[in-house]
């Protein structure tokens, strides 16, 4: 992940992360932040499941509880944004907790 991309996500947070927030790529193309976060969460979940299946071949997604933590200093809108991004990754339950 490029440092420019990480900065853009942080900048979106500083501006007030919301459903309408957008992230601009280096090439100038804009994309909804919700799409970016949802894709990232889905990728991490899928990658984790592949790694787990190598170690525990019979494991099912329903055997795993996924937990996403968010910093306590995030404003309520940013916390809600993460909840919505997590819910958008369907077919399993995600618990979003606040991390001190």
pLDDT for 6 equals 59
d(CA 5, CA 68): 20
pLDDT at 9 over 70: no
Q: What per-residue confidence (pLDDT) applies to 26?
A: 84
Using the Cα atoms of residue 5, residue 10, residue 12 and residue 15 in order, give the sign of their dihedral.
negative
Residues facing residue 30 across a β-bridge = 24
Q: 58 or 80, which is more confident?
A: 58
Which whole number is the average pLDDT over 21-33?
86
Residue 87 near residue 43 (C-beta atoms within 8 A): no
Q: pTM to 2 decimals?
A: 0.73
């Amino acid at each position: 992940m490029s440092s420019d991309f990480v900065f853009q996500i942080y900048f979106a947070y500083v501006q007030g992360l919301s459903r309408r927030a957008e992230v601009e790529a280096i090439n100038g193309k804009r994309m909804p932040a919700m799409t970016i976060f949802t894709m990232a969460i889905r990728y991490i979940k899928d990658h984790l499941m592949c790694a787990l299946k190598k170690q525990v071949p019979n494991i099912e997604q329903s055997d795993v509880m996924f937990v996403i933590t968010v910093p306590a200093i995030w404003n309520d809108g940013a916390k809600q944004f993460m909840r919505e991004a997590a819910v958008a990754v369907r077919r399993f339950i995600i618990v979003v907790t606040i991390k001190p």
